[in-house]
Structure 1
Amino acid sequence: MAQPALSTAIDFSLPPVLHNERGEVRTVGVEIEFVGPSAEKTVQALQEALGGRLIEEDPHAFVLKESAIGDLTVELDSRILHPGKQAGTQRGVLPKIAALFGFAASYLVPCELVTAPTPIDRLEELNRILAILRALGAKGTQDAPFYAFGLHFNPEIPRQDAATVTAFMKSFALLNPWLRREASPDATRNLLGFADPFPAEYVRKIASPDYQPDIATFIDDYLSHNPTRNRDLDLLPLLHHFDAGRVRAVLPNEKINGRPTFHYRLPDARVSDPGWSIAPDWNRWVCVERLAADREKLDAVGSAYLAFEGEDKSWANVVEQVVRS
């Protein structure tokens, strides 16, 4: 008798706080980078599989509205190829040059697929995107060793206050050595400088159980140590949402769109691998949320970190026991 096939599907964990302050299910946006099919070919395949209305913003940027899994955008991941999105740009020669350059660059510049905010309890539906990309021949990290492809999550903050953002930042910084180890960053990502970890001085500052700042102090401390988007957990969009003037005083020209979400940047999008899912990376993020929600445990882990004298690799083993407990 034939044995039943084993399911390889990985369940998506739910965070401890499922609803936002309005009582609505929290949302998360997902970004996936890849090369191979053009933005136009990709969005057409998505429309065929998921329905919806296709809108062309320029020859290399498209929006799929009202698909079966919500709104999606697909575009070449380069600002210079989309001059119409830049303030003050006029139609004319520049957009035409950008379009022509974009066709040439499409062999070198990754495409970026971005979902609209999706209810967290429906996140598994987004795995349908991966099957569509694979059918198109999209390639990811394992196929292009000289490129860097990312997977990003943009989870909505459950409560828009200083205590919540501080708890999340503490939890992420304390778990980050384990998160980075589990994500197994591709060697190319290290070579290209994917994302720097938070400075040890900053982690030690915020790890203290006594560190409970108001939002203005939190923003000032963050910007003092992290005046950059180059972090695994980029808080600039969230902090811009809280206090745009404060952020712009330090980073007047940085590309930042304020929104009440975290921006969790991961180094590995293996879109051509039929066994790859976004679930494991999401489930590790939920470990961050669980520790952030347990303030007593969070304080204990912070105190343990301050007393720890080993290296990050050894600390990763310590906090692994925390997330497994």
Structure 2
Amino acid sequence: MAQRALSTSIGFLLPPILRNEVGETRTVGIEVEFAGTSAEAAVRALHRTFGGTIIEEDPHAYQLMGSIIGDMSIELDSRMLHPGKRTKIGALPRIAAWCGFAASYIVPCELVTAPIPMDRLHEIDQVLTILRGIGAKGTQDAAFYAFGLHFNSEVPKQDAQTALAFLKSFVLLNAWLRREVAPDVTRDLLGFASPFPLGYVRMIAAPDYWPSMERFIDDYLAASPTRNRDLDLLPLLHHFDAQRVRALLPNEKINGRPTFHYRLPDARVSDAGWSIAPEWNRWVAVERLAADRDQLNALGSAFLAFSGEPKSWANVVERVALT
């Protein structure tokens, strides 16, 4: 029988705009990469605590549907290893499954939750506790790979100005975020969560840069035609205008959705003291600045006038981020 989920004692901050355009509590989907255990062992451990129904897609990809904390999927993080997810090379089921067993020693698993209300985010820490209990490993345990923690935060309003306000806020706080998050150097070397080009940052930081949706998308694609950003906006821009995005990126793996894809933090699953709360609370700092247009524009002007090192700018914006 499934046990009821209990909240943790770590404080999860709420964003200044908690409801979306139709008055519902905004949601956030979580992605956590880990190693040290199989997808099957992980989903069965979660099922014992949270209940629901296990669906096996293949020997290395599972879904847990209808659990008391929502739906989740767990799979080896490589599409080539899943026979049901056809690739251009047309991997056969038996070959893909066999390769999956071999790759399970070096390819991480990825847990993806369905969107959950932001005021229930604390429940995800219980998922991490269960994974830790069956031997799941995180970034600090890997020699050649760094595991990520991603937040897919629903936009409070689906328009260009809201999306741009968040992006402005993020790039202005980025030096502080990177200092606090301190992502593993491997992720930087592999380009998994690269910062935006400085020229683009300076363009969008300008207080008078509030373009139309069409220009916003075109400017973004010209400067950053890649998923490998610390704040990946391609899923959101694809949701806004799929044809415009696909015209430039016809083969990029993009699923359009009305969310910001924040992918800077590391996943440190095996660390007994690790919670996603501090990482989430730093994202809330981005949301707070994005919601304050006057402060956002003032900080943009200050950034354009600043000539010091990024670590010095981090000290400047720390007061803004922590208010």
Q: Which residue of 2 aligns with 1:216?
A: 214
Pair 87,319 (structure 1): closer, same or farther in 2 beyond 3 Å: same
How far does residue 194 in structure 1 lie from its aligned partner after superposition? 3.2
Separation in structure 2 between the aligned mates of residue 186 and residue 223 of structure 1, nearest angstrom? 27
How far does residue 312 in structure 1 lie from its aligned partner after superposition? 1.2
Do residues 165 (structure 1) and 158 (structure 2) align?
no
Do the aligned partners of 1:189 and 1:267 also contact (CA within 8 Å) in 2?
A: no
Do the aligned partners of 1:162 and 1:215 also contact (CA within 8 Å) in 2?
A: yes
| Counterpart mapping for 1:46-57 below 5 A | 46-57=46-57
| Counterpart mapping for 1:58-69 below 5 A | 58-69=58-69
TM-score by length of 2: 0.95
Q: Which residue of 2 aligns with 1:225?
A: 223
Separation in structure 2 between the aligned mates of residue 117 and residue 286 of structure 1, nearest angstrom? 17
Do the aligned partners of 1:58 and 1:99 also contact (CA within 8 Å) in 2?
A: yes
How far does residue 323 in structure 1 lie from its aligned partner after superposition? 1.3
Q: Which residue of 1 aligns with 2:97?
A: 99
How far does residue 88 in structure 1 lie from its aligned partner after superposition? 8.8
- Deviation per CA, 1:95-125, whole angstroms, max 9, x where unpaired? 1110010001000000000000000010001
How far does residue 266 in structure 1 lie from its aligned partner after superposition? 2.4
Separation in structure 2 between the aligned mates of residue 109 and residue 87 of structure 1, nearest angstrom? 18
Code of the aligned partner of 1:48 = R
Do the aligned partners of 2:58 and 2:83 also contact (CA within 8 Å) in 1?
A: no
Q: Which residue of 2 aligns with 1:70?
A: 70
Code of the aligned partner of 2:100 = G
2:136 to 135, 138, 142: 138
How far does residue 89 in structure 1 lie from its aligned partner after superposition? 9.3
Q: Which residue of 2 aligns with 1:81?
A: 81
Q: Which residue of 2 aligns with 1:3?
A: none
How far does residue 86 in structure 1 lie from its aligned partner after superposition? 3.0
How far does residue 9 in structure 1 lie from its aligned partner after superposition? 3.6
Do residues 280 (structure 1) and 278 (structure 2) align?
yes
Structure 1 spans left out of the alignment, 5+ residues: 1-7
Do residues 21 (structure 1) and 21 (structure 2) align?
yes
> What secondary structure is seen at the aligned counterpart in 1 of 2:84?
helix
Q: Which residue of 1 aligns with 2:291?
A: 293
Q: Which residue of 2 aligns with 1:262?
A: 260
Code of the aligned partner of 1:109 = V
How far does residue 74 in structure 1 lie from its aligned partner after superposition? 0.2
Do residues 198 (structure 1) and 196 (structure 2) align?
yes
Do the aligned partners of 1:145 and 1:188 also contact (CA within 8 Å) in 2?
A: no
Separation in structure 2 between the aligned mates of residue 189 and residue 267 of structure 1, nearest angstrom? 10
Q: Which residue of 2 aligns with 1:111?
A: 109
Aligned-residue identity in percent: 71
> What secondary structure is seen at the aligned counterpart in 2 of 1:291?
helix
Separation in structure 2 between the aligned mates of residue 197 and residue 313 of structure 1, nearest angstrom? 15
> What secondary structure is seen at the aligned counterpart in 2 of 1:266?
coil
How far does residue 317 in structure 1 lie from its aligned partner after superposition? 0.8
- Deviation per CA, 1:265-310, whole angstroms, max 9, x where unpaired? 0241110111000000000000000000000000000010011111
> What secondary structure is seen at the aligned counterpart in 2 of 1:83?
coil
Structure 2 spans left out of the alignment, 5+ residues: 1-7
> What secondary structure is seen at the aligned counterpart in 1 of 2:92?
helix
Separation in structure 1 between the aligned mates of residue 42 and residue 235 of structure 2, nearest angstrom? 28
Number of aligned pairs? 316
Separation in structure 2 between the aligned mates of residue 51 and residue 319 of structure 1, nearest angstrom? 44
2:319 to 307, 318, 321: 321
How far does residue 87 in structure 1 lie from its aligned partner after superposition? 7.2
CA RMSD of aligned residues (A): 1.5
- Deviation per CA, 1:41-100, whole angstroms, max 9, x where unpaired? 11011101110000011111000001111000000000101231237998xx71111001
Q: Which residue of 1 aligns with 2:3?
A: none
Do the aligned partners of 1:148 and 1:192 also contact (CA within 8 Å) in 2?
A: no
2:183 to 185, 194, 200: 185
How far does residue 186 in structure 1 lie from its aligned partner after superposition? 1.8
Code of the aligned partner of 1:168 = F
